[in-house]
Amino acid sequence: MQFRTKARAVDLLGKGQIADLPTAITELWKNGYDAYADNLCADLYIEGFNGLQSTYFVLSDDGKGMSSTDVLDKWLVLGTDSKSRAELEKESEETLWKRPRIKAGEKGIGRLSVAYLGNPMLMLTKKIGYPLQAVYFDWRLLENYNLFLDDIIIPIKSVEKIASLNTVFSELKKMFLWNFDKEIDLNNKPIWEGKQTELKYNIISETENAVLEEPILNRIVSFFDSDNPHGTLFLLFNPIDQIFSLSEKDEDDLEDRKFVISSLTGFTNPFKEIPFKIGTAFNIYKESGTYDLLTSQGEFFDKSDFKLADVYIKGEFDGNGSFTGKIRIYDEEIDYVYTHPRRKDIRSFYGKVPLELGYSQGNRKDSIQDDFSFEKIRNKVDNYGGLYIYRDDFRVLPYGRENADFLNFEKRRSLKAGDYYFSYRRMFGYLDLKRELNPSLKDKSSREGLINNAQYRAFWNDAIGFFVTLAKDYFKTEPQFSLFRDKQKEIRDQNEALEADKARERADKIAFTKSLNSYPQRLDEHQTKYESLLNTLDEKLNNINITYSEVENILDELQKLDLEFKSLIPKVPKRYKPTEAQKERLYKFEDRLSNYIELVKPRREELNKKAQDKLEIRDLKIDFTKKYNGYISALERSLNEYRQQLDEKSSSLGKDYRERARRLINSLSENKEKIVNSIVSKEQVSQLSNEIEKQYNNLFEEAGKTLFPLVEHIKRLSFDIDEEQVQGAYKAQYDQMKYQWEQTRDTAQLGIAVEIIDHEFNQLYAKINRQLIELAKSNAVSSIKEYSFLEKNFKQLEDKYALLSPLYRISGALVKNISGETIFKYLVEFFENQIREYSIKFEVSDTFKVHNISIKEPVIHTVFINIINNAIYWMRNKEQRIIKLEYLIETKEIIIANSGEKIPDYRLEKIFDLFYSQRPNGRGIGLYLSKQSLNEAGLDIYATNDKKYNTLNGACFVIHHIISRNV
């Protein structure tokens, strides 16, 4: 007798053992990982993408692939034991010459999970040095309970040339359909009967209709198109609906997408430094665009995120109930040891399990992190927070998912959050299992967690006991040790104070914005009224016998309007730093007001003189006295308004102080008589004395945080120090340093990228140049028009790169005399395309052309490139686009001017600050570096609006010798 296996047994072992979609994909990715793949991809091609008539799902890995023998003797053999032996391979061809990996698979049935994803299936796999293997199958065939395994044909063929894949595919489908040629079994019973008849025709129909559409064929060809292709690819022609729904933006499927994303991210342990990093992606190809599902809601964690944790735990469970490690609470690190009081039993020993965990506060005010860092870690925690389990640095599902709170953090918090501090959704980190050290902590057959054996229960109890005890020791509302609560209160007070300051700043911003918005109308009304009065005054003064009484009211009104000039410009709050857009508006307002004053001032003076000529000395004296009194009255009015505000605020603060003080005193004294009368023993006196002292200390501490600081602040106030200005200055410095640090971080990355790009460009340039030389040797190719065009264009690229090449070698360049003529020719050549596109005109004086500058050539070229590049940008919308280069012999100064946008006066110095830029996506580095480089060469540069230099009324720069200017 022998066992015979029904076909449906394979279906039960495969699809029947898979809990969900992410687990199915993970099982196949595990096989790719075990095959030494570095890249694991899932690609969903939606009907309509590049003309597709159907939807396809592709899973691929660039592992070692399989030969025909591997497919027949391993892939088609269930329960292979090579992985479960946990034998470490040697670095060889079988490991693709990579460091050996501990196998993630164990049971030898993970490959069957492909049946969960859809049907029918085409598997393509290639091992280095072997032909491509193709396997076609529809796993639904196994659902027929009348079929035995030895009744089933699984077609496999070699593909000698990828171009013949379509032909091989057709042959595979014909071979597969042989499975339906047999109608009855050996007992003359029908093989297909009842409802299975419908299944049969569905399988046959879908096989006949399965085609390799061009975009899918191109994907396959590109995957296996290299010098030594290797890897495995699964193509599902009818993926399950759940896969298809991942591409939809329907809110009803949002939770399902989040579930899949959270399950497939963090495939290999990102929390620690490991010798390999496996790239994973789930690309969705739609008519509207392509994106990676796994990064669609943000990046996953990495090791550096532990630095952003407000609480950080690192240690190890010893397998016998004890934990030893370190806890960082905000910025203070302590040693921590915990032992579970359970009975020790060798049968429950589970081996050493390291733990590394970060914890993020739910409220910004409780966090030590700055706004940027807090938001960064909060977004990650919101999307991916949880406690993960990794075995040999490979993720174990379902741990880390939102619904996989296996240590019941949230269940305890729902009972009493004050005692059970830790929340599953606010933590991130991992438990680090090893197959060698933790052999009893095994996966369930369904791949849904660890088997609930004695060792797992011991580990589970130890972990829960550790977090419960740690919370009681440091984190509960009234802990045994107050380190966390003390620091939390200190940080919360600081953050609340900063938030209150921000609220005040926002109020200042709103008020300032309102004044900016109302300014144009106020100026228009002022200008209309002022010009009307001037016109009326002019008419009156034209009368021959004018009297003072006829113009007195007009002169009074004009003086009032003169006094209002200063109040027309919006006042910038000293504590608030306006945005660049607001500064720009303010500058334009000031410019408009200045133009207005320049326009009316001559006429005002002319009418004043005319009035003096017409009026008697007595009338003029009266008018002068009224003006004098008007200034005094205006000053008194302003001072009295502020004094009234001071009195009101002082009165309000005094009243508030008395009310708060009274409340504190009442809190301490209200039960005095009742407490005294309740004393009947000496022990009560001692106990109540301690309680009253504690209450007093608490109330005094409250006063020390609310009332006393205000008084101390008022005591420090002085008319000689503008506190608002001081605070504003410090805040501006802080904001500037913060901004510069962020930009420096970005720029450092940019610098590295530029170095890499430059290196790669040199390599690529050399290759293309060699290939063109080889092609030129062939008369047939060199005579082709397209080749000549290609060669010409490459030479132009070569010339452009030659222009840039000195900029890469500044440090090694020599100082030499460079003429203005040389600089001018270099600029014309460098900006050839822009000059032609924007019709830019250069005005270059003879004095500039003959002037020589003693400097390193790359330095002066870089300076001019930066300035001219900016000029081209700011001249784009001007009708006349002129760049002027001039040398002033008398002052020994070089002028670089253009007809673009004029630089506002308040920016003339700021534009040389590091990272200061007004251009969209500008980094604000060019002018800063230009100034630094010129300073090292004994020169300096500044911007000016002085009409002596700025004759084009745009941006104007002056280069001069530092020594000559100091003299």
Least confident span in 73-82, 842-851, 861-870: 73-82
- Mean pLDDT to the nearest integer, 414-424: 91
- Mean pLDDT to the nearest integer, 695-702: 78
CB-based contact 83:34 (threshold 8 Å): yes
On the 0-12 / 13-18 / 19+ scale of CB atoms within 10 A, 583 is middle
Note the pLDDT of residue 276: 75
Q: How far apart, in whole angstroms, are the C-alpha atoms of residue 448 and residue 263?
A: 12
**123, 124, 125, 128: CA torsion to nearest 10:** 180
CB-based contact 578:572 (threshold 8 Å): yes
- Find out whether the peptide bond into 398 is cis, omega within 30 degrees of 0: yes
| Token pair in block for residue 793 | 């264009």
**pLDDT tier for residue 809 given thresholds of 50, 70 and 90:** very low
Q: How far apart, in whole angstroms, are the C-alpha atoms of residue 215 and residue 347?
A: 57
Tell me the pLDDT of the chain averaged across its residues: 81
Answer yes or no: pTM beyond 0.75: no
Q: How far apart, in whole angstroms, are the C-alpha atoms of residue 434 and residue 416?
A: 35
- Mean pLDDT to the nearest integer, 457-469: 95
- The pLDDT > 70 percentage for the chain reads 79
Q: How far apart, in whole angstroms, are the C-alpha atoms of residue 353 and residue 347?
A: 17
Q: How far apart, in whole angstroms, are the C-alpha atoms of residue 840 and residue 900?
A: 11
Site of tokens 């002037």: 851
| Token pair in block for residue 205 | 């129909």
pLDDT at 469 over 70: yes
pLDDT at 81 over 70: no
Strands 939-943 and 956-961 come out as antiparallel
Note the pLDDT of residue 575: 63
Interacting residues of 134 by C-beta distance below 8 A, sequence separation 6+: 122, 123, 124, 156, 157, 158, 159, 165, 168, 169, 172
- Mean pLDDT to the nearest integer, 54-64: 94
Q: How far apart, in whole angstroms, are the C-alpha atoms of residue 619 and residue 621?
A: 5
Beta-bridge partners for 207: none
Note the pLDDT of residue 490: 83
User: Which among 591, 603, 594, 533 has a CA at the least distance from the CA of 561?
Assistant: 533
Note the pLDDT of residue 752: 46
CB-based contact 124:132 (threshold 8 Å): yes
CB-based contact 138:207 (threshold 8 Å): yes
- The pLDDT > 90 percentage for the chain reads 32
CB-based contact 268:393 (threshold 8 Å): yes
Better-scored residue on pLDDT, 471 or 607: 471
**CA 420-425-427 angle, 5° bins:** 80
State the sign of the Cα–Cα–Cα–Cα dihedral 939, 941, 944, 948.
positive
Q: What is the DSSP string of 854-921?
A: EEEHHHHHHHHHHHHHHHHHHHTT-SS-EEEEEEETTTTEEEEEESSPPPPGGGTTGGGSTT---STT
Q: Name residue 163's amino acid.
A: A
User: Which among 242, 208, 297 has a CA at the least distance from the CA of 44?
Assistant: 242
| Token pair in block for residue 104 | 């993630």
| Token pair in block for residue 725 | 């200005």
Q: What is the pLDDT of residues 175-202, one digit of tens each?
A: 999 988 887 766 677 878 888 888 889 9
CB-based contact 133:158 (threshold 8 Å): yes
- Mean pLDDT to the nearest integer, 740-750: 53
**pLDDT tier for residue 13 given thresholds of 50, 70 and 90:** low
Least confident span in 211-220, 616-625, 669-678: 616-625
Beta-bridge partners for 802: none
Better-scored residue on pLDDT, 116 or 943: 943
Least confident span in 605-614, 823-832, 860-869: 605-614
Half-sphere exposure of 353 (CA within 13 A, CB side): 28
**CA 611 centroid distance within chain:** 68
Q: Name residue 230's amino acid.
A: H
**pLDDT tier for residue 931 given thresholds of 50, 70 and 90:** confident
DSSP state at residue 14:
T
Q: How far apart, in whole angstroms, are the C-alpha atoms of residue 59 and residue 236?
A: 8
Half-sphere exposure of 161 (CA within 13 A, CB side): 3
Note the pLDDT of residue 186: 66
On the 0-12 / 13-18 / 19+ scale of CB atoms within 10 A, 655 is exposed
CB-based contact 395:268 (threshold 8 Å): yes
Strands 893-898 and 394-396 come out as unpaired
Q: How far apart, in whole angstroms, are the C-alpha atoms of residue 955 and residue 449?
A: 68
Query: 71 to each of 110, 126, 502, how far by Cα in Å?
Result: 14, 10, 66
pLDDT at 921 over 70: no
- Mean pLDDT to the nearest integer, 529-555: 73
Q: How far apart, in whole angstroms, are the C-alpha atoms of residue 176 and residue 153?
A: 7
Q: What is the pLDDT of residues 895-904, one digit of tens each?
A: 999 999 888 8
Interacting residues of 616 by C-beta distance below 8 A, sequence separation 6+: 548
Note the pLDDT of residue 14: 55
* Residues written for the chain: 967
pLDDT at 824 over 60: yes
User: Which among 862, 852, 866, 865 has a CA at the least distance from the CA of 822?
Assistant: 852
pLDDT at 460 over 60: yes
Q: How far apart, in whole angstroms, are the C-alpha atoms of residue 834 and residue 870?
A: 12
Residue 315, helix vs strand vs coil: strand
Where in 392-463 does DSSP place strands (E)? Answer: 394-396, 427-433
- Mean pLDDT to the nearest integer, 453-475: 94
CB-based contact 169:232 (threshold 8 Å): no
Note the pLDDT of residue 510: 78
Least confident span in 368-372, 742-746, 927-931: 742-746
DSSP state at residue 719:
T
